[in-house]
Amino acid sequence: MSRSNSISRWVSFGPQFHALLRIVTAFMFMQSGTMKLFAWPMGMPPDNSTAVFGTQIWIGGFLEVFGGLLMLIGWWTRPVAFILAGEMAVAYFQFHQPSGFWPVENGGVAAVAYCFLFLYYSAAGAGPWSVDAWKSK
């Protein structure tokens, strides 16, 4: 196989990698929520607790678990991703940015990365391995 054929073949997997990135991102994101709501696989630092029902942290955990689940299966991807991008923007500016300018110094790298990943999915959609794609056929 020539080099250009190899590159073309690799590039042809773009839609599948688009969907795979969504699935992995959602799975990782959900763990932040399960930590807050269920203390699984660990509780919130410093004492392995869960968030108090109805608090802002609890609402964030709810969005992370159930919004993450919708992202994982790719259902209502665009509106859910937009809401989750907003949640991560709030998380960054409310909880991280006051501790310093740079995300690496204020612990906000994940919040920024999730914010922009979800913003991307709010525009690009779920990709081929999703309920959204299945329902559109």
pLDDT of residue 50: 98
Largest CA distance in the chain: 59
pLDDT of residue 75: 98
Domain that holds residue 111: 3-135
Q: What's the whole-model pTM score?
A: 0.93
Cβ contacts of 59-62, under 8 Å, gap ≥ 24: 60/33, 60/36, 60/87, 60/91, 61/32, 61/33, 61/34, 61/35, 61/36, 61/37, 62/33, 62/37
pLDDT of residue 3: 72
pLDDT of residue 137: 80
Q: In angstroms, rounded to a whole number, what is the distance separating the alpha carbons of residues 71 and 25? A: 9
Q: In angstroms, rounded to a whole number, what is the distance separating the alpha carbons of residues 132 and 90? A: 27
pLDDT of residue 100: 96
Q: How many domains does the chain have?
A: 1
Ranges of residues in the chain whose predicted pLDDT is under 70: 1-2
pLDDT of residue 101: 94
Query: Which one, of 73, 57, 75, 71, lies nearest residue 120 by Cα?
Result: 71
pLDDT of residue 1: 57
